[in-house]
Chains A and B, each alone.
Chain A
């Protein structure tokens, strides 16, 4: 197992002071450390954006993929070596915008990954354009007269698409965040954790205080994460309550065989150790005769 200190690289984080990413990463490292997951057996794949830097600040194996493509590289890593703990990170623009096709199909595929989305409802690194989770009417650099589009609902989409672990946390509550990350890392299947966080520089609407006043925890409200219909209802509560109540915690959880579980080739162990089947290949030549 690795301590939080061992999990921290010497690279100085380039995030803005007060950014929710600091707390998020502390919680993630805490979760990895408490679960005793060795750092050399962990791969963190990030996309591009402020969240993309995540793979630089954690002392595991890291891969900084392209914008919107953390889940895809992470899926390849996991299929190649399912003995590894694989985490994908990205932002709301990254995962719900440019990478939305991969987002959608990851749920039905159910490869055992933890997907953490830094959801601050804005494009931060490109200096403040509307993102898929920007509220309708929100003024940003790209929507100076107000956003004309509906806000994307990642949780409802995840549940509908066959998600087996769908959660949301608030970056201002580190203890809760760590607990949910731990559950996500232990979940066998594709686990989504949407992290609500302010962008202290570019999102003037969804500030720490704004979230703080609205979030509550599902576990203290008696929500049963096995109840899909209730989970769906909770996924819409943010909008149906006109942003007065925003639930956090595990919305939905189900046990379903993972993609690896259902691949007969992987029953004998991770693909990485498998030998070339030369005899079988030579035998196949005969079938062409």
Chain B
């Protein structure tokens, strides 16, 4: 049982809100939903869509749809080739013209007076969406009471009258469908039914990251707006009073990361979030965190680059940037969660690691993971906060006879760190190379000893905290899809398709991207059969990193860099083609969506 529903219209038509409402209605019926929004970088006009794939256990969107609600003409043009055979289209002929047969004779064209039903029932033009939701639910055979529940809760704050009106309007769409398209409904093969009553969350990667950070003791969050990281800021700002967190919007990303460094120096857990352009501005401060050994956590939501590029689309092309940003050589930890639970868990973990090792930690997501919504069980609040070797004033007093050695050379490279307010801990933390007591050291032996001290932390990280990539599926698979971060669910779905067609495919997914345990990775790679690297970038950055650190070369590389993430069926189809060629085809395959009509075209008159 699986169903793919999509709604499309101009920015400002309330596409996102409608999509979220539907996701919740599906999730409450014991189903698993993936809500995937796409939108260009503008506030009004253009083409915005929200697709929901719903089933028993789904982890990624697919390209085609069973039922599409077209609120404007570009949605029609864009989706002509993106509706499954025998699928259906809901539209309102008073606003959008569709010629018979435009979608092919097999499709049901369902003209529903969305605007009229909204206004006749006392609603506003914007409420045509709600009519469309009711009509969609009727057509797919789903339970309207679940939609009504969600609407009631969403609008509860606005009073019973608003709730009643929304429910009435959704009902109007639902009933119109039942009365006018009975025959079409009966011949429509795709249906989705409620499975059970369920209480799960519908949450995006950014919200999961924000909650994980809060649970991990985040107290100050400083950031500058940048898509696709901004919704972390929005969520924390919205909850700052309840969660007792200071959300500080700063004048730029330099200030954002610097506020976080200052707060961490003073003993308060602080983090920032940004995307590539902002991270470029933070690069110098990344080194400041490393040299001064002041913890800092950066949530880096990738989007295509270089420069401003495609602000609202996705790519995994900042891995090497995250690994190498800032001058000089220093240690940092780079993590890339792959699903909602990992976003929550590793956001909290990032704060622990930054404190424990006194260095910058970067958590990589991307537009796809950050802004896509998934049904997900409640997070486990069992987050243990570990502050490492931080000295606070309620601990044993420090000796007062000598200047405190903030950068004491230790076996594990980590030096106890008193925070301001602790008597006897006065010291200078700084951006210059220093002696153990923090004073500037232009002394070769000291310089080398300090580099070694800082680098030595890698041993403890690998021993105590590093996690090997996880292998999902049969250990003796004939083929392994290797991916990182956001592409976990996508690769798992691709493997599922291939396995259902008789292959034996598993998935190796990396969360810990740096540092890497070369020895154990080499052992693991030796056990794999044929390998296919799947990366949402042009140069296969993880393959480069694995070659450098573990001497590994994948057999094939599947790369996509057109602004969208992979769709599972693209991976499956390319793997099948490789197999058909008896694995003798090209080693590097670029997957590009050549759509006859695309989003950017929809928003503009000229090209």
- A positions within 8 Å CB-CB of B: 9-11, 39-43, 45, 48, 53, 55-56, 59-66, 69, 72-81, 83-84, 101-102, 104-105, 263-266, 271-272, 274-278, 280-285, 288-289
Bits for B240-260, please: 1 = Cβ < 8 Å to A, else 0: 111111101011101100111
A62 to B261, CA, bound (A): 13
Q: Give chain A nearest CB distance to B157 CB in angstroms.
A: 11
Known: A56-B430, A63-B265. 10 other contacts (CB 8 A): A40-B423, A40-B425, A73-B265, A81-B268, A271-B219, A271-B246, A276-B214, A276-B385, A278-B215, A280-B242
* B421-A83 in contact (CB<8A): yes
Contact of A66 among B220, B263, B285 (CB under 8 A): B285
Q: Give chain B nearest CB distance to A288 CB in angstroms.
A: 4
18 CB < 8 A contacts A-B: A11-B439, A40-B420, A64-B432, A66-B258, A69-B258, A72-B250, A73-B265, A76-B222, A79-B220, A79-B246, A274-B219, A277-B244, A280-B243, A281-B215, A284-B239, A285-B201, A289-B27, A289-B28
Q: Give chain A nearest CB distance to B469 CB in angstroms.
A: 29
Contacts A40-B423, A60-B426, A62-B427 given; indicate if A76 touches B263 (C-beta within 8 A): yes
Closest B residue, CB atoms, query A61: B420
Q: Give chain A nearest CB distance to B415 CB in angstroms.
A: 15
Q: Specify which chain B residues have a CB less than 8 angstroms from the CB of A79 in the assembled complex.
A: 220, 246, 248, 259, 262-263
Q: Specify which chain B residues have a CB less than 8 angstroms from the CB of A9 in the assembled complex.
A: 403, 439
Contacts A63-B292, A276-B385, A281-B243 given; indicate if A76 touches B258 (C-beta within 8 A): yes
* A276-B215 in contact (CB<8A): yes
Bits for B309-341, please: 1 = Cβ < 8 Å to A, else 0: 000000000000000000000000000000000
Q: Specify which chain A residues have a CB less than 8 angstroms from the CB of B244 in the assembled complex.
A: 265, 274-275, 277, 280
**Cβ of B288 under 8 Å from chain A:** yes
Chain B count of residues within 8 A CB distance of the other chain:
69
Most B Cβ at <10 Å: residue of A81, A271, A277: A271
* A73-B262 in contact (CB<8A): yes
Q: Specify which chain B residues have a CB less than 8 angstroms from the CB of A81 in the assembled complex.
A: 266-268, 420-421
Contact of A101 among B251, B267, B292, B431 (CB under 8 A): B251
A285 to B200, CA, bound (A): 9
Q: Specify which chain B residues have a CB less than 8 angstroms from the CB of A284 in the assembled complex.
A: 211, 239, 242-243
Bits for B421-451, please: 1 = Cβ < 8 Å to A, else 0: 1111111111110000011100000000000
Q: Give chain A nearest CB distance to B242 CB in angstroms.
A: 5
* B215-A69 in contact (CB<8A): no
* A65-B431 in contact (CB<8A): yes
Tell me what chain A mostly uses at the interface: helix, strand, loop, or mixed: helix
Q: Specify which chain B residues have a CB less than 8 angstroms from the CB of A60 in the assembled complex.
A: 426
* B251-A84 in contact (CB<8A): no
Q: Specify which chain B residues have a CB less than 8 angstroms from the CB of A40 in the assembled complex.
A: 420-426
A264 to B242, CA, bound (A): 11
Closest B residue, CB atoms, query A81: B266
* A266-B262 in contact (CB<8A): no
Q: Give chain B nearest CB distance to A289 CB in angstroms.
A: 6
**Cβ of B379 under 8 Å from chain A:** yes
Q: Specify which chain A residues have a CB less than 8 angstroms from the CB of B239 in the assembled complex.
A: 280, 284
Most A Cβ at <10 Å: residue of B28, B217, B385, B426: B426
* A41-B420 in contact (CB<8A): yes
* B265-A56 in contact (CB<8A): no
Most A Cβ at <10 Å: residue of B378, B423, B429: B429
* A80-B262 in contact (CB<8A): yes
Closest B residue, CB atoms, query A106: B251
* B420-A288 in contact (CB<8A): no
**Cβ of B207 under 8 Å from chain A:** yes
* B242-A80 in contact (CB<8A): no
Q: Specify which chain B residues have a CB less than 8 angstroms from the CB of A74 in the assembled complex.
A: 262
Contacts A43-B420, A73-B258, A276-B215 given; indicate if A80 touches B199 (C-beta within 8 A): no
* A285-B378 in contact (CB<8A): yes
**Cβ of B24 under 8 Å from chain A:** yes
* B268-A272 in contact (CB<8A): yes
Contacts A39-B426, A76-B261 given; indicate if A48 touches B420 (C-beta within 8 A): no
**Cβ of B124 under 8 Å from chain A:** no
Q: Specify which chain B residues have a CB less than 8 angstroms from the CB of A105 in the assembled complex.
A: 250-251, 255
* A66-B288 in contact (CB<8A): yes
* A77-B258 in contact (CB<8A): no
* B262-A76 in contact (CB<8A): yes
**Cβ of B89 under 8 Å from chain A:** no
Q: Give chain A nearest CB distance to B420 CB in angstroms.
A: 4
Q: Specify which chain B residues have a CB less than 8 angstroms from the CB of A78 in the assembled complex.
A: 262
Q: Which B residues, 194 to 218, have Cβ-Cβ distances below 8 Å to chain A?
A: 199-203, 207, 211, 214-215, 217
Contact of A277 among B243, B255, B292, B379 (CB under 8 A): B243
